Amino acid sequence: MTTRTLRAGLIGLGMMGRHHARNLRSLDGVELVAVADAQGDPHGAAPGLEVLPDVEALIAAGIDYAVVAVPTQFHRDVALTLASAGVHTLVEKPLAFDIGEAEEITHAYEAAGLVGAVGYIERYNPALQEMRTRIADGQLGEIYQIVTRRQGGFPARIADVGVVKDLATHDLDLTAWVAQSQYAQVSATSTRRSGREDEDMVSVTGRLEDGTITNHLVNWLTPFKERVTVVTGENGALVGDTLNADLTFHANGEAPTNLWESMASFRGVSEGDSITYALQRKEPLATEHEAFRDAVLGDGSNIVTMREGLHTVRTVEAVLESARRDAVVQIGTGDA
């Protein structure tokens, strides 16, 4: 239970900012007291509030925490200004435009003892939240492989990055989170088929530090939409469909073999029971905002930390380098 109402500010009122404004306005224990955007409020996301010109004006309004939904190229300057002012901050994904900027932001918030998080909304999909809980509880036993497919048509909202920084970043983040292990290496192949400067299709294979094998298919060229995460372990597989917020468990039946002796030593799997779990289909962005509010109040157990965001930026850059060089790229943590 909150002891007082937290004062929140939002900078950036574009396509994503308007959804943040809606959720902040309905969040228990929080009041959206100030918004800022140099371009005004094109979607009418903050009726009744003056649209301030910049982050300095937002800080001057007296806020406990801020949500940053400006274009990625402005994340560094806005986030560092908020850190200097002692404001807890949730930054939309990705954390920053490159590794250097991501390191600056991460170190600034950690040094100041502030709550800093990155807005990877896919983590808060009900199917993935339930998947992570079940894996942590040991349902799958040892994890062997994580496969994701994130495919569909080209979104008109994208102008400044390719499919790796826009979409694959979700899969790289959620995979490391689900396995609780960072990437050790990646190998990627990408292409450009739609006439744009940046890549619109990528295939990534990788290995996490704990040995888990990963594979990601991501593109803007498939005439249907697919958002699937498959985690395979010793006890079976969990399949998360984040479009429909469904989670299905396929058990490894481990049926005893009656085969001849030469095959009896083969330890494979067998089809067991399958169950699709009934989940509460809550809006992921609402869950994300609740998690960040709780982190500001002291419970940071369900946020994407800025250090996690930094690791994801590092992995994204490794994927792009791998595709460029046609080579396997090893990933160091870079942590001091």
Residue 54, Cβ neighbours under 10 Å: how many? 14
Inform me whether the pLDDT recorded for 332 exceeds 70: yes
Q: What is the DSSP string of 101-148?
A: HHHHHHHHHHHHT--EEEE-GGGGSHHHHHHHHHHHTTTT-SEEEEEE
What is the spatial distance between Cα 289 and Cα 234, in angstroms, rounded to a whole number?
Answer: 34
Q: SS3 for 64?
A: coil
Q: For the chain, give the percent of residues with pLDDT over 90.
A: 85
**Band of the pLDDT at 2, cuts 50, 70, 90?**
very low
Maximal C-alpha separation, the chain: 78
pTM score over 0.95: no
pLDDT value at position 239? 98
Q: How far apart (Å, rounded) are the C-alpha atoms in residues 147 and 213?
A: 8
pLDDT of residue 281: 87
Strand duo 329-330 + 6-11: pairing: unpaired
DSSP state of 242: T
DSSP β-ladder status, 116-119 and 246-252: unpaired
What is residue 294's predicted lDDT score, i.e. its pLDDT?
97
Q: Is the pLDDT of residue 158 over 90?
A: no
Convert the pLDDT of each residue in 42-101 to its tens digit.
999 999 999 999 999 999 999 999 999 999 999 999 999 999 999 999 999 999 989 999
Give the separation between CA 230 and CA 219, rounded to whole angstroms.
18
| pLDDT band, very low/low/confident/very high, at 270 (cuts 50, 70, 90) | confident
pLDDT score of 4: 84
- Position 334 scores a pLDDT of 57
Q: What is the pLDDT of residue 157?
A: 64
Tens digits of residue pLDDT in 210-245: 999 999 999 999 999 999 999 999 999 999 999 999
Asked if 185 and 330 touch (Cβ cutoff 8 Å), the reply is yes
- What type of residue sits at position 33? V
> pLDDT digit string (tens) for 256-265?
545 555 554 4
Give ∠ CA 247-124-86 in degrees, rounded to 5: 165
Q: Cβ of 34: how many Cβ atoms within 10 Å?
A: 23
Confidence at 336, pLDDT banded by 50, 70, 90 = very low
Distance, in Å, from the CA atom of 295 to the CA atom of 91, rounded to the nearest integer, reads 14
3-state secondary structure of 1: coil
Are 6-114 and 123-282+313-330 equal in CATH topology? no
What pLDDT is attached to residue 1? 42
Q: Residue 229: which H helix or E strand, with range? A: strand 226-233
C-alpha distances in Å from residue 311, one per residue of 152, 196, 234: 26, 27, 27
Q: Does pLDDT of 288 surpass 80?
A: yes
Cβ(171)–Cβ(230) below 8 Å: no
Domain ranges of the chain: 6-114, 123-282+313-330
**Domain 123-282+313-330: which CATH number of 3.30.360.10, 1.10.510.10, 3.40.50.2300, 1.10.3720.10:** 3.30.360.10
pLDDT in tens, 162-221: 999 999 999 999 999 999 999 999 999 999 998 888 999 999 999 999 999 999 999 999
Residue closest to 146 by CA, chosen among 233, 246, 249, 260:
233
6-114: CATH class: alpha beta
**How large is the average pLDDT for residues 126-155?**
96
Mean pLDDT of the chain: 92
The two beta strands, 236-241 and 226-233, are antiparallel
Q: What is the pLDDT of residue 118?
A: 98
Q: Cis omega (within 30 of 0) on the bond before 94?
A: yes
DSSP secondary structure string, 243-285? Answer: TTTEEEEEEE--PPP-S-HHHHT-----EEEEEEEP-----HH
